Chain A
């Protein structure tokens, strides 16, 4: 069974640009969550989607957005990039709608110059 797949794995952008990250959950998993990981702040929740609906949102500015498609694949977008957005962005999927048992992808490492 394939795991959570995230693309791209690495990317470099400059301030002011935007970026879109993609996540394909484990087959059969309908819930997708996104997290940002930095050395200083650790793992921080961005948002969660279930059946194409955003169920939860973390304390990030509106520049961070996401969506989920009918096949459960998800994308997140960051507009007007800032240096502080440099981080590892992790996508996680879970089987049901009521679980914190997450399966993480390898992440997309974003560097903003």
Chain B
């Protein structure tokens, strides 16, 4: 079992729809969770971090965390073609909160005009 699992996609949604990206992790000790976006040929950029159970909203993005189910999700409302990218879920290694992150393989999102 991989430590962080994501559906590789591609996930295709029409412009203006809600895109839902999901991630599960295996280490119950993980305390911090992140979503990074990576455009083709570019480096990853942090778009959301979440540390406690529940929802965290930032503009069109909402991160959801359920530690009991070891599940993290990212919702993108009013999806735009510019949101087309690979979305990487990352969790901290164990209970430490350092730069050592375990990344999923990423979900490719395609937003069709």
Contact = CB atoms under 8 A, between A and B. Distances in A.
B57 to A, nearest CB: 17
Size bracket of the B interface: 20 to 34
Interface in A59-103: 90, 92, 94, 97-103
Contacts of B98: 31, 48, 50, 55-56, 97-100
A28 B97 CA distance: 19
Mostly, the A contact residues are strand
Mostly, the B contact residues are loop
B44 A104 contact: yes
A50 B96 CA distance: 14
A11 B98 CA distance: 29
Interface in A19-48: 31-33, 35, 42-45, 48
A48 B92 CA distance: 13
B17 interface: no
Given A43-B88, A101-B49, A105-B43, A58 B100 contact: yes
Nearest to B44: A104
Interface of B: 32, 34, 36, 42-46, 49, 88, 90, 92-93, 96-106
A-B pairs with the 10 shortest C-beta distances? A33-B99, A43-B103, A104-B43, A56-B100, A48-B99, A42-B105, A98-B97, A100-B32, A100-B92, A100-B101
